[in-house]
Amino acid sequence: MIKLPKYLYRGDCDSNNDRKLHTSNNSNVFLTNLSNGGDGRKILKIPINTLIQNHICPGWQKTHFLSFTEDIDIAINYASNSDEYDEYFDDKNDWDFKLITISTNLLIESSIAEFNNGFYYAEYKSQSTENVPNSKIFLINAVEYLSSLENMNNISVSNAKRDKEWIVLPLNRFDGEFSSKLDKGIVYKEQNFKYK
């Protein structure tokens, strides 16, 4: 039986505006850093375990992936630079950081398949019209997957353990490569926060 955490969390302030998090706030997708001038064909040319390691350590600026964690506190700490904040409900869109919660209960159960230790394929009902009717993703338990491979970068494994990291890769095709957009059909909740 495949067991996935019910919720995964991502804290994001997008301080360099790589993912256009504010301007795309009301859209049906989240962008990866790939959307800001990355090479979408890298995912087809370079082994995925190498790309995952590069994403975790030293950090891949034009990554195809979005990092999530099993721990909500880790997600918030990653995005915030202060302990003084409140949830923000104003329509002005001038919040400081966002907490994104995805739910594996929104996955189509019959679509879930584990390809390797901690490496899952799944589909879910799309919110956007780009990926009708379903969106496709890889959900990767970074600790479990990297620990199962030989000759892994110990720093990557250590960082993944510290962050209880899961990596999400949107698998929808776009122009012969994978899209830089994660459809929000898997999103259980979005919360905005503002510093006091």
What integer is the mean pLDDT of 43-51? Answer: 89
As a whole-number percent, the residues of the chain with pLDDT over 90 amount to 63
70-103: pLDDT as tens digits: 999 999 999 998 899 999 998 888 999 999 999 9
Secondary structure class of 144 (helix, strand, coil) = helix
What integer is the mean pLDDT of 142-146? Answer: 94
> What ranges make up the beta strands (E) of 33-186?
66-69, 85-87, 97-103, 113-116, 119-125, 134-141, 165-170, 173-174, 177-178, 181-183
pLDDT at 10 over 90: yes
pLDDT of residue 169: 95
Which range among 100-109, 118-127, 151-160 shows the weakest confidence by mean pLDDT?
151-160
More confidently predicted of 26 and 102: 102
Look up residue 62 and give its amino acid. Answer: K
What integer is the mean pLDDT of 160-179? Answer: 89
Q: How far apart are CA 35 and CA 42, in angstroms?
A: 13
Give 166's pLDDT tier (boundaries 50, 70, 90).
very high
pLDDT of residue 69: 98
Look up residue 33 and give its amino acid. Answer: N
pLDDT at 57 over 90: no
Distances (CA, A) of 113 to 87, 122, 155: 36, 7, 28
More confidently predicted of 59 and 112: 112
